[in-house]
Structure 1
Amino acid sequence: MVHTLSILIDLEPEHLHYFEMVHRHKSCNVVMRQYNRRGLHFILYRKNKLACSIFVDVVEILGRTLVKESDYTYIKKYLINCLSILFNDENLFFEHNLTRFDFSFNAYIPNAKIRQQILKLLKKLPGAYRRMQQNNSYKTSMLYKSKSVEVIVYDKVAERLAKQEKIRSYEKDMLRVEVKLSNAHIYRQCHRHGKPKQLFTFLHLFLFEKYFEQYFLNFIHCGDYYTSSIAFKKIMKSTLKEKEKTKLIQLLERINKEGIDKVKSSYNPKTFRKWMTYLDTLKINPILIPDTAGIIHIHSLQKYYFNTLKKLS
């Protein structure tokens, strides 16, 4: 449900005094390593206002990718303990300010070639969606970004290898999908709904579903990926009228050659949505696998999302 998050906590002079007296000449992160506390990165702010920023890798703390609402109790106790070690104040956690929250799910795909092909196919989606702009600067990921929300799909193994880092057991063969909420977005949502700007406000299954439906599922289409020959055969075997079959195949041929943005702009929006609905019904993705890929069929990422949802429910 969640991968990483960040919180900010205001400190008092006595907190800093305790830290400097007990943990002389050590950083917060060194102290955490000495106490074998993993998955955290601290930054102390001493100018203008005393504060502590904590980056929390929930997956690393738990040692698993499946994070449930019920894990909040453990995460809370873990952070309370860490803050107590550093600043001798168990109540600091309850004053935290959530500044980042990354919803996520993982797709276990053992074939590295398929993982890379999925990223290539996703990069053929429209260049913009819900005020987010696509960024194709990275080979091992697909990114859409706005000022307040990011959607990223990336190959965790490829990322670790590129950084020359150890691949953890729960990361092996994983394609990770994340919807990242910025501090500004979190503030607006909490202010609008009168909710505390804290971790427990966002660690909920209904919000996981809401954000993935809004920013990912409705965007990537529910159909599986096929080569043109397989997709056309499925269309021809469908119960559509012959004229509709012909037009649908022509549409896919155009998308394959011209790109979905250009083709979409040449259609009336209502008409284009109708053809996309037909493809969704047939479980065919409008983005086709190139004939040269050496792969004829790839499951949609929606399949992995719904599998995760079942495990979380």
Structure 2
Amino acid sequence: MIHTMKMYLPIPYQDVQELNKRFNIKSFELNKFIEGRFPGVTMSLSAMGKGQWKLSMFIDAIELLNKPNIAEEDYLKMEGEIRKILFYLFLHSSAYDDHVLQRIDYRYDVFNDNQIIRQLLLDIYKKTTRMYKRQNKILGYIDKETKKYKPYKTTVDHTSGSIKSTVYLKNEERIAKGEIPKYYEKDIIRFEVQLREDHMYYQERNGHRSRKLWEYMKDDIYRKYFDERIFSIFFKGDFYKIDQARKIIYDSPLSSSYKRKLIDFLKKVSSYDVSTPLNNMSKKTLNSRLEMLQNLGINPILIPKNYLNAPSIIINPLKDFPIYKYK
């Protein structure tokens, strides 16, 4: 469920002074002082003005709880671990009551020990829609030194200033950085939704939910965001080569006209990406085609015919994700 999170906690200046005195450190030395004491946690102190300070915390929930699969039932343990840190620093944990959540990363990991299939899926996901709800597809970056474009090797992003939806190969990402994959990252395809501060502020301002960790650690909220921000971009349905998809469509009860239209739609998507058919149809018609394919269990992105060692069918890695029930 959760991977990482960021929050800040208002701290009275008196508590900051007492901390500095007790540990004989300066405020800016805090993170170095506690380094390694609390797994997966980095933090810093800074002044907010008018005698108020804040403690900023970045938390890798998996490292802190020493548990790869974290769910709503783990909230009290998570709160307890954060309060332990605060008590160690300030001899009380009341600051947690006023914490403000600034970012949270939801994750869903799928194990696949076939490297060819993992890379094929990533290449398929490069053909997703170019934009969804202001989230632009990002397939690379500009190198700061060479000023040249470099494609991502392990990642497909759809990002805006408030939300990022990502699929990436965790094992390959670690190795590319010269790091050793952890046991729960080996051969993993990771789907991730990152909620940023602007989004959380908007949700609070409009009365949907406060910027508190307990609001965002609910299983239904996790499923809701995946339903909206992962399935709407990466889609449901299994992946097929054109011949297999054509057979399913022709065996369906759809009219002959719609069968032809769906096959033509798949070919247009295959030529570039899911946004390509918009050159010749409205967004409403595109969504209708996507819905028809979903009802047939077909992902709109085909397996390339000439992809080396590619199978004819790939089961959607998101197939076992728990369904969100709209309330």
**TM-score in same-fold range (> 0.5):** yes
**What residue number does 1:283 align with?**
297
Counterpart among 266, 279, 282 of residue 265 in structure 1 = 279
Cα distance 1:99–1:34, how it changes in 2: closer, same or farther (>3 A)?
closer
**What residue number does 2:7 align with?**
7
Q: Does 1:109 align with 2:125?
A: no
Counterpart among 28, 31, 45 of residue 29 in structure 1 = 31
**What residue number does 1:51 align with?**
54
Q: Does 1:176 align with 2:190?
A: yes
**What residue number does 1:60 align with?**
63
CA contact (8 A) 2:268 2:276 kept: no
Give the residue type in structure 2 aligned to 1:74: K
Cα distance 1:130–1:195, how it changes in 2: closer, same or farther (>3 A)?
closer
Question: Residues 36-67 of structure 1, C-alpha deviation per residue, up to 9 Å, x if partnerless?
Answer: x2011112214745221000111222233321
CA contact (8 A) 2:127 2:272 kept: no
Question: Residues 216-266 of structure 1, C-alpha deviation per residue, up to 9 Å, x if partnerless?
Answer: 213322111112222223223333344433332222222212433221331
Question: Residues 123-142 of structure 1, C-alpha deviation per residue, up to 9 Å, x if partnerless?
Answer: 11111111111111122111
CA contact (8 A) 1:133 1:146 kept: yes
Q: Which runs of 5+ in 2 are unaligned?
A: 141-151
Report the Cα distance in structure 1 between the residues aligned to 2:321 and 2:12, rounded to whole angstroms.
43
Give the residue type in structure 1 aligned to 2:224: K
Deviates more, 1:211-220 or 1:177-186: 211-220
CA contact (8 A) 1:98 1:197 kept: yes
Give the residue type in structure 2 aligned to 1:239: P
Cα distance 1:28–1:111, how it changes in 2: closer, same or farther (>3 A)?
farther
Report the Cα distance in structure 2 between the residues aligned to 1:258 and 1:199, rounded to whole angstroms.
40
Q: How many corresponding residue pairs?
A: 308
1:260 alignment partner, SS class: coil
**Percent identity of equivalent pairs:** 28
Counterpart among 198, 211, 232 of residue 246 in structure 2 = 232
Q: Highest relative contact order (Cα 8 Å, sep 6+), 1 or 2?
A: 1
Question: Residues 197-217 of structure 1, C-alpha deviation per residue, up to 9 Å, x if partnerless?
Answer: 211121111211221122121
TM-score by length of 1: 0.90
Report the Cα distance in structure 1 between the residues aligned to 2:13 and 2:69, rounded to whole angstroms.
38
Q: Which runs of 5+ in 1 are unaligned?
A: none
CA contact (8 A) 1:227 1:291 kept: yes
Q: Does 1:123 align with 2:126?
A: yes
Cα distance 1:87–1:233, how it changes in 2: closer, same or farther (>3 A)?
same
Note the C-alpha offset of 1:33. Answer: 4.1
Report the Cα distance in structure 2 between the residues aligned to 1:15 and 1:31, rounded to whole angstroms.
17
